[in-house]
Amino acid sequence: MAYLAAIIDWHSKAVLSHKISNSMDSALVMDVLEQALLCYGTPEIFNTDQGEPIPQ
């Protein structure tokens, strides 16, 4: 199975960072988040989709 993690700008709908992996774990999410923060800086507001818990 393949998993997609993405950071999307809520206003412009632009994909700021994304990664596909064969496992859903916290490393996948942290990689995508760190990449977006490095490229675009820290946002004033950060929303999540309240998806399923991510295994450590």
- Contact between 2 and 20 under an 8 Å Cβ cutoff? The reply is yes
What pLDDT score was predicted for residue 56? 65
**Tens digits of residue pLDDT in 14-44:** 999 999 999 988 999 999 999 999 999 999 9
**Could you identify the residue written with the tokens 């916290």?**
26
* Strands of the chain, DSSP E: 3-8, 15-21
Locate the domains of the chain by residue range: 3-40
What pLDDT score was predicted for residue 48? 86
pTM above 0.85, yes or no: no
